[in-house]
Homo-oligomer: A and B are copies of this chain.
Amino acid sequence: MRPTARQVAELAGVSVATVSYVLSGRDRPVAPETRQRVLDAARQLGYTPNQAARSLRKRRTQRVCLVLSTVGGVPSDARLAMDLHEMADARGYSVVTLSVDSAARAQAAVEVLRGGIADGALIRVTGDHLERDLLSGLAATGLPMVVMSNESGLEGCDVVRTPEVEACAEAVGHLLDTGRRRIAFMGQRYEVYREQPEGRLLGYLQAMDRHGSAERIITGGADDRVAAYQTATELLGSPDRPDAIFAASDRAAISAIWAARDLGLSVPGDVAVVGVGNIDEGLISNPQLSTVGPLRHDYTDVVRLLFDRLQAEEPPPAREIVRSWTFVRRGSS
């Protein structure tokens, strides 16, 4: 049985109130000697306050929740997590992470958040599992939250958007401007099989629309490196192979470069390759990877939104920030 404040109090010969005041360090005057007795007793018993009881009473958990698609997902998730951890540490919060990689787990995650696991949430879930209505419903409970998403109609929370459509269109436009005509789009499953094109696929389509002549080639396969390699191998092995591949992730793009080289094709001579995300790995690939994404992976502005909201007296008005994305041309295109 874990020791309780009551047991500490008995051992120290004081009341539970005194134990609480000493250990939570509030500004009630406590005699130095009493304080020491309490601290000794707590140490001796290995006492740690029960968080469930504490949050029930204080109506705060001092925790924030990071909601991501998968453990070990995109590299930028790691940067986001770093920045969140850093600011949370500084403000006395701890961080728990929830992972949402199916509709069922999205439902479960919302349930956990509604159950009060944390005082606020930073949510970045790709794919279509966490639907707008779920999120808006969650925000309607008053939970402070920041959502990184380009979806429209997110009410009651701060929203962080990314101009990925425009940036991807620019990248594909660059491919067209440099003479490429058979440009393949290699996307993630959820993006390719959506009814209405959005995001990266939409950027590709918009750019292609401006050059009506160019042929559209759309495939999946960007979900993991091996699948991307196989998809690229098929694309590039066909008689009417594309002269460019626009991949929805840098990891997939690098797989495409590998596939090209293994087929004896030169990059960018025979086929240009552009990815999305601007991960560091693109700097050491050969050739270096052209990509679209943020120039610096700094998420402190996003994280600050959450803590502003947490520490506000009144719920502040919903804010929206748009992060900047750039097309970075390097050797692969």
Interface residues of A (CB under 8 A from B): 1-2, 46, 48-56, 61, 63, 66, 68, 70-75, 77-78, 81-82, 85, 89, 94-99, 104-105, 108-109, 111-112, 114-117, 137, 140-142, 224-226, 229, 255, 258, 261-262, 280-281, 283-286
Closest-by-CB residue of B relative to A140 is: B46
Is there an interface contact between A261 and B283, defined as CB atoms closer than 8 Å?
no
CB of A206, distance to nearest CB on chain B (Å): 31
List the 8 shortest-distance A-B pairs measured between CB atoms, nearest first: A72-B78, A51-B115, A71-B81, A48-B114, A97-B97, A229-B284, A52-B56, A96-B96
Closest-by-CB residue of B relative to A143 is: B2
Contact of A49 among B48, B50, B115, B117 (CB under 8 A): B115
In whole angstroms, what is the CA distance A289 to B51 when docked?
A: 47
Which residues of B have CB within 8 Å of A96?
A: 96-98, 112, 117
Is there an interface contact between B81 and A105, defined as CB atoms closer than 8 Å?
no
Is there an interface contact between A258 and B284, defined as CB atoms closer than 8 Å?
yes
CB of A287, distance to nearest CB on chain B (Å): 10
Is there an interface contact between A77 and B85, defined as CB atoms closer than 8 Å?
no
Is there an interface contact between A53 and B51, defined as CB atoms closer than 8 Å?
no
Which residues of B have CB within 8 Å of A255?
A: 284
Which residues of B have CB within 8 Å of A115?
A: 48-51, 54
Apart from A68-B71, A73-B78, A226-B283: 13 A-B pairs, beta carbons within 8 A: A2-B114, A46-B137, A48-B141, A49-B115, A51-B115, A52-B55, A71-B78, A72-B81, A89-B105, A89-B108, A96-B96, A96-B112, A255-B284
Is there an interface contact between A225 and B280, defined as CB atoms closer than 8 Å?
yes
Closest-by-CB residue of B relative to A76 is: B72
Closest-by-CB residue of B relative to A56 is: B52
In whole angstroms, what is the CA distance A88 to B35 when docked?
A: 42
CB of A213, distance to nearest CB on chain B (Å): 34
Q: A56-B53, A71-B78, A281-B225 are in contact. Are A2 and B97 (CB under 8 A)?
A: no
